[in-house]
Each structure stands twice: as C-alpha cells, then as structure tokens.
Amino acid sequence: MKRILLLLLLLGSVLSARTAMTATQACGLYNNLKHTQNSGNLVLEPGSSYEVLRRHKGQYLLKIPNKSPSQRWVDDDCLSQNSRTKTIKHKAVSPKNLLALSWHNAFCETHRYKKECKNRRNSGNFTLHGLWPQPRGNIYCGVPKRYVIADREGRWQQLPEPKLSPQTRVRLQEVMPGAVSNLHRHEWIKHGTCYGTDAETYFTHAAHLVHEVRQSAVARLFQKNAGKRLRIEQVRKAFDKSFGRNSGSHVELRCKRGLITEVWLHLGRSDSTLARALSEGSNVNSRCRYGIVDRAGYGR
C-alpha cells in the first residue's frame, strides 16, 4: 500500500512539473488555434514561466491569469522546458521561412500615399516585403516590450535602426523601397530577430533571394504580361523553369481588387540559393488562382 501511495505521489509531481514552461520568444498569445484573434495583443514575456494546460497540433494552450479570455494558444517552439520539465521531449522542427515579394506597381496602386510610390524606380519589378521565419507565431524574439508595442501601433519611426554596412544598406534600399517608410525597421523587429542571425546577414540573404527572382523567368513573365491576367499555373511553371522541378508547388499568389499584389515563396533554409531553399520548402495551396499584372502608373 505504501508503494502505491509513493508511486501516486511521484506521478502527481511529474504531472505538475509538466505544466510549467518558460517563454523563449515574445510570441503572440491567440484566442484560437488558427491565430486569427489576439484580444489585447498579448505576447509572451521571454524568461517568464507559464502554466501549460495541454498541447495540440504543434501548439500549447496556456493559462494567462487576469486576462480575458484567460486561455491562449501559442506555437510550441516559443516555449522551452524549465528546470522541472527536463523529462519532456520535443521533436526538432526543421527551419522554414516565407519570402514575401511585392509586385511594386500593384503595391503602389493600392497604397498611393506611400513615400516609396512617388518615383518609378522599381516599376515593373518585384520588391522585398519580408523574409519571415515560420511558423507565423515566431515573431519578436527577445524584443523589449516597448518596441513590440510601438511596432504593433505602427510607430515604426520609433524602432531602432538595424545595424547594417553601407553596402548592405544601399542594396536594401534597391530591393526594399519601403525602407523610406521604415519598413526595414518593422521587418527586423518583428521577423528578423527570429531568423537566428544579425541584421546584416538577415537582410543580405533576403536581398540575394530577391535578386535571384528579378533575374529569372518569373520576372520576365510578369513584365511581358503587364496589363494582362496571369494564372497560378503560369507562375508556377516559370518557377519550375528557373529554380527546378516542383519548385512552383511552393509558391502562392496574393491578390487584392483583382490585382496580383504579392508572390509568396514557402522556403526551407534561406541562407543558400533560392533553388535549394525552394526544394526544402512546403507545398502550398493558392487561394488566389489568377489576377492582373498591374502596369506602371495609376489605373490598370
């Protein structure tokens, strides 16, 4: 009988130990599994301990006291085992990234007030929106809360300037015209801090990937069809031609008001060639199946 009681006590201590985990990143705390709502824009506090209620589909359900709702979902790689949970094992997650490229004409058609749309330097070309470590909740890694709040409120001019060499800064301005609106500060704080490198390396990799697309059959396809409609099958075929068989299956279109506004590339490790990064990426469905390639200037 004593042995049974001892075993029950040990089991209880193990179960209680499994409920406490430590935040390693300032990830968002969402009301639902799909991460479509975050009441109060709550984020994890790196270094703080949280009560884990359960794990489901690569996410943890946490209890957040004094918040409504108090139960929140977060990606499991945003938490680590603390000193009492060393017996819990997690399967390693291979690195994934999403490269978001804007078709600059369409961006300016839908954002006419932006500073970067006052000249035609990037007309008829792809520009860098961002390079985003996945899963999507992998954001604001080790970022002070005041910067997280400023970023979420769109006060990008108050974010710190990423430390870049003069050469990288010039190259970034070429592929990311939104830098004049402090897009690079936002992208570094929200996404780049989770990439695992310094800002210099992060933006160098991103600029290199944009350059590869600009020199490919994909860019020529868009330029040739300015003012016309393109289908996802045509775009994927151009990716296959330039970057290898089946690379197009890792690509999706993003559309707005009938225009193709962005092309999203689902990549594996991005510190190599785009062909290899695409080969290590994930297959994806494209909700936008076709759209018009916007010409330079306002109006289609």
Q: What averages of pLDDT result for each successive group of 10 residues across the chain (300 residues)? A: 51 50 74 78 74 84 88 80 38 69 87 75 84 92 94 96 95 94 96 93 95 97 95 98 96 95 91 89 95 74
Give the global pTM. Answer: 0.68
Radius of gyration of the chain (CA): 22
pLDDT reported for residue 82? 52
* Structural element, H or E, at residue 130: strand 126-134
| H or E element that contains 22 | strand 20-23
Domains recognised in the chain with CATH numbers: 2-81 (2.30.30.40), 96-292 (3.90.730.10)
Q: Are 192 and 199 within 8 A, CB to CB?
A: yes
How high is the pLDDT of residue 163?
Answer: 94
Contact 276, 250 (CB under 8 A): no
> What pLDDT, on the 0 to 100 scale, is given for residue 175?
95
Quote the pLDDT of residue 13.
42
C-alpha to C-alpha distance for 172 and 206, rounded to whole angstroms: 9
The predicted pLDDT at position 298 comes to 54
Q: Residue 184: count other Cβ atoms within 10 Å of its Cβ.
A: 26
Pairing of strands 259-267, 96-103: antiparallel
- pLDDT score recorded for residue 4: 52
